[in-house]
Amino acid sequence: MSDTALHLGSGKVRELYALDDERLLLVASDRISTFDVVLPTEIPDKGRVLTGLSGFWFAQTRDLVPNHLLALRSDGRSSECRRLEMLPIECVVRGYLAGSGWKDYRATGEVCGHRLPDGLVESQQLPEPLFTPATKAQTGHDENIDRAAAVELVGEQRFDEVERVSLELYRTVSEQAAARGIILADTKLEFGVDERGRLVLADEAFTPDSSRFWPADEYAPGGPQPSFDKQFVRDYCETLGWDKAYPGPELPADVVAGTRARYVEAFERLTGIAFDRYVDEPGVVLA
Ligand code: Q0Z
């Protein structure tokens, strides 16, 4: 880490530092959360997998939209980024009906003001991908909002721009993932604005922590899908009768090893790059 960086904040599994007035350092730890609780046991290399995947997708999508990434550090888990004015909405795109999208649809027939056909089942593919923005909750859960509420927060021009760019990003990345046997069910993007007012993709992008990845060969609509990365952890936690309140359980070695293998498999399938090569030379994902 940079010796003089000022700690700006902690996420559940990440840390943010200021390098100077224009640059931030985003550090992905090996912590894992499940059912909204950070567990006491780490998953070795999880932070590297997430940082490498984000860097890969930033590079793959740079012709669609500029992004905040300046450099990947040699530890593989730290990203130097441009410091931006962040937009106060989460830009979610859903291609499939899962999570809060499924909950809202079941209750109202709509998601974020988009009326959907009757009779859709859980995890079903939507007729077309939807832009479903949410507020950024400081604690607790983001709240889905409709177009009018999002326009109140960012303005109409910027709303139309982030909607168009988010849908383009989803289409590009979901096609690339599908070609490698992985469904990108949905994803949460964050954007900022640079000193010249240009939209910039920021934070992490198309990682297992910001997206739902499902193995295509196990896809079975009509219920929840196994998570590509965290299913071993969830299944183990379910065997314990844990009440999902803090503190969470320690994970046994086989659950740690299985989960690490799934993260590494996600990295290798999505990028086509051997994870060991990334650990050797993080810049390989940017080429
Ligand atoms: C990201 C977050 C984390 C805690 C602020 N390029 C940027 N410019 C300005 N602000 C941010 C970024 Cl990425 C920014 N977060 C989320 C990340 C720990 C919170 F690692 N907050």
Query: DSSP letters of 155-178?
Result: -HHHHHHHHHHHHHHHHHHHHHHH
The residues pairing with 229 across neighbouring beta strands, listed in sequence order, are none
Ligand 1 in reach of 77 Cβ (< 6 A):
no
In ligand 1, the atom with minimum distance to the C-alpha of 26 is: 20
Whether the predicted pLDDT of 139 surpasses 90? no
Average pLDDT over residues 224-233: 96
Whether the predicted pLDDT of 3 surpasses 80? no
In ligand 1, the atom with minimum distance to the C-alpha of 27 is: 20
Distance between Cα 42 and ligand 1 center (Å): 22
Res. 10 pLDDT band, cuts 50 70 90: very high
Tens of pLDDT, residues 55-80:
999 999 999 999 999 999 999 999 99
Ligand 1 in reach of 86 Cβ (< 6 A):
yes
Ligand 1 in reach of 26 Cβ (< 6 A):
yes
Ligand 1 in reach of 47 Cβ (< 6 A):
no
pLDDT at residue number 140:
84
Buried b (16+ CB within 10 A) or exposed e, 272-283: eeebeebbeebe
Q: Where does residue 127 rank: exposed (0-12), middle (13-18), buried (19+ CB within 10 A)? A: exposed
- Atom 6 (ligand 1): residue with closest C-alpha? 83
Ligand 1 in reach of 188 Cβ (< 6 A):
no
Ligand 1 in reach of 273 Cβ (< 6 A):
no
Ligand 1 in reach of 70 Cβ (< 6 A):
no
Distance between Cα 15 and ligand 1 center (Å): 9
Rounded to an integer, what distance in angstroms lies between the CA atom of residue 63 and that of residue 189? 17
Q: Where does residue 245 rank: exposed (0-12), middle (13-18), buried (19+ CB within 10 A)? A: exposed
Phi, psi of 83 (to 5 degrees): -85, 125
Whether the predicted pLDDT of 47 surpasses 90? yes
Asked if residue 172 lies in contact with residue 205, where contact means CB atoms within 8 angstroms, the answer is: no
- Atom 13 (ligand 1): residue with closest C-alpha? 203
Res. 1 pLDDT band, cuts 50 70 90: low
Parallel, antiparallel or unpaired: strands 182-193 and 89-96:
antiparallel
pLDDT at residue number 44:
98
